[in-house]
């Protein structure tokens, strides 16, 4: 049987057949398509034929329509596109050029979207894998090595920080002792794994920072703006969380890149100890990522609750820092807090945690006074104001 007589499988859908679909064949004869079935034949001129390639995922069928009768719809085997007589007919060729160009555009758009989604998934998986790898490597650093690194870091930052001493401050030992007394109720709730906590006061604006090995440095400017021991404990809880979670080591190793991390994971864990070569004085100038800062807020909040210290002090401390920045026009001043997550967002997030806290009353009453820093030489007070 000839190709012309054999034709192409097709179905017709027309209101006159109700809900039924009639099966037949399309026969191409010259410039017309003739639908042969059990129903009366239909003649479809090629110049009146409207082509719809349909779903790109269904390559077996295409749709044809009659421009004169929009309600008339044919579904025909896509094999008709292999017939040169059909595709080379001018009205058909013009439509196919337009449709295939549009389909290629859509195909490229979907391909681009799929690639972007794939890259995003790969990036997410890589981030998760790197995070796990960094935590795994950091976990392998011994407490002794952590303390040694902290000692080295402290020696490197000493020339850059003005700690209170017998020569420049009235009763410096009393101020440090007061700081330790405020921190005492909090410390049992912080999992320091045997790392000793050590507290220092330095001259400077409202700030605090932590070093590996348990050293916490509180700036005099921070003591000036806080008003309750709960607020100071909240700041200390945040800094102690950096120590307990070993954020400094995570920060350093992550900063050296995935290749360095991979070398540690597949090689010797001793390579991780090369972080001791890191210029430790940068730890007080480089900011942690917002993820680490949020973790420190989160863990610090939990430490406060576990120690039965009112965690609302963390909200109050951030509110005071926000007020200080606003009053001092901190947009023109350097501050370690400027690199932290936005204070408004942190306060909003912590207020949500406070609202969800089931017990807001079963807290200790803290009575220890806040440390007071007074310079011996009154003329140095002008210098101290420059720091604040």
DSSP string, 4-40: HHH-EEEEEE-GGGTT--EEEEEEEETTEEEEEESSP
Question: Per the structure, how many domains does the chain have?
Answer: 2
User: Is residue 134 a part of any domain in this protein?
Assistant: no
Bigger pLDDT: 43 vs 103: 43
Report yes or no: 199 and 154 within 8 Å, Cβ to Cβ.
no
Phi, psi of 287 (to 5 degrees): -90, 150
Report yes or no: 226 and 370 within 8 Å, Cβ to Cβ.
yes
Q: State yes or no: pLDDT of 281 exceeds 50.
A: no
* Residues 228-244 pLDDT 10s: 999 999 999 999 999 99
Which of 81, 103, 125 terminates a domain? The answer is: 103
User: Is residue 98 a part of any domain in this protein?
Assistant: yes
Please give the order of strands across the beta sheet that includes 208-211.
Answer: 198-202, 215-219, 208-211
User: Is residue 121 a part of any domain in this protein?
Assistant: no
Least confident interval from 41-45, 49-53, 131-135, 312-316: 131-135
**Which of helix, strand or coil describes residue 199?**
strand
Same domain, 95 and 203: no
Closest CA to 241 of 307, 285, 333, 176: 307
User: Is residue 367 a part of any domain in this protein?
Assistant: yes
Q: State yes or no: pLDDT of 107 exceeds 70.
A: no
Same domain, 245 and 322: yes
Bigger pLDDT: 364 vs 141: 364
Residues 6+ away with beta carbon under 8 Å from 294: 341, 346, 349
Bigger pLDDT: 242 vs 276: 242
Predicted local confidence at residue 267, as pLDDT: 58
Q: Which domain holds residue 28?
A: 3-103
CATH number of the domain where residue 28 is located: 2.30.29.30
- Give the angle subtended at the CA of 277 by the CAs of 272 and 282, to the nearest 5°: 110
* Residues 284-331 pLDDT 10s: 445 557 788 999 999 999 999 999 999 999 999 999 999 998 887 654
**Pairing state between β 32-37 and 198-202:** unpaired
User: Is residue 126 a part of any domain in this protein?
Assistant: no
The widest CA-to-CA distance across the chain, in whole angstroms, is: 114
Report yes or no: 14 and 70 within 8 Å, Cβ to Cβ.
no
User: Is residue 292 a part of any domain in this protein?
Assistant: yes
Q: State yes or no: pLDDT of 336 exceeds 50.
A: no
pTM of the model: 0.63
Same domain, 201 and 85: no
Report yes or no: 183 and 197 within 8 Å, Cβ to Cβ.
yes
Which of 103, 133, 167 terminates a domain? The answer is: 103
């Amino acid at each position: 049987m000839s190709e012309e007589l054999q034709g192409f499988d097709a179905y017709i859908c027309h209101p006159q057949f109700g809900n039924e679909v009639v099966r037949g064949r399309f026969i191409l004869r010259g410039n017309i398509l003739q639908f042969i079935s059990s129903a009366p034949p239909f003649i479809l001129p090629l110049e009146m034929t409207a082509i719809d390639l349909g779903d790109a995922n269904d390559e077996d069928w295409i749709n044809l329509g009659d421009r004169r009768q929009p309600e008339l719809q044919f579904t025909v085997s896509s094999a008709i596109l292999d017939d040169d007589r059909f595709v080379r007919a001018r009205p058909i060729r013009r439509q196919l050029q337009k449709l295939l160009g549009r389909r290629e555009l859509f195909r490229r758009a979907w391909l681009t979207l799929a690639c972007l989604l794939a890259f995003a998934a790969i990036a997410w998986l890589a981030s998760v894998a790197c995070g796990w790898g960094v935590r795994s490597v950091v976990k392998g650093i011994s407490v002794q090595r952590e303390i040694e690194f902290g000692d080295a870091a402290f020696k490197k930052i000493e020339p850059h920080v003005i700690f209170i001493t017998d020569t420049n401050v009235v009763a410096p030992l009393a101020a440090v002792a007061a700081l330790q007394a405020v921190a005492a109720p909090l410390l049992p709730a912080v999992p320091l794994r045997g790392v000793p906590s050590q507290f220092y006061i330095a001259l400077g604006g409202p700030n605090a920072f932590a070093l590996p090995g348990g050293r916490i440095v509180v700036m005099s400017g921070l003591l000036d703006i806080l008003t309750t021991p709960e607020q100071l404990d909240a700041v200390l809880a945040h800094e102690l969380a950096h120590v307990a979670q070993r954020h400094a080591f995570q920060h350093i190793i992550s900063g050296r890149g995935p290749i360095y991390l991979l070398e540690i994971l597949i090689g010797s864990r001793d390579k991780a100890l090369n972080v001791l070569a890191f210029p430790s004085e940068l730890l007080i100038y480089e900011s942690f990522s917002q993820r680490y800062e949020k973790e420190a807020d989160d863990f610090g909040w939990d430490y406060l609750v576990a120690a039965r210290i009112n965690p609302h002090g963390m909200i109050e401390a951030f509110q005071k820092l926000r007020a200080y920045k606003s009053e001092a026009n901190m947009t023109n001043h350097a501050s370690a807090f400027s690199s932290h997550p936005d204070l408004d967002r942190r306060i909003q997030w912590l207020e949500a945690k406070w609202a969800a806290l089931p017990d807001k009353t079963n807290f200790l009453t803290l009575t220890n006074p806040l440390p007071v820093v007074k310079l011996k030489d009154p003329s140095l007070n002008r210098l101290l104001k420059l720091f604040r």
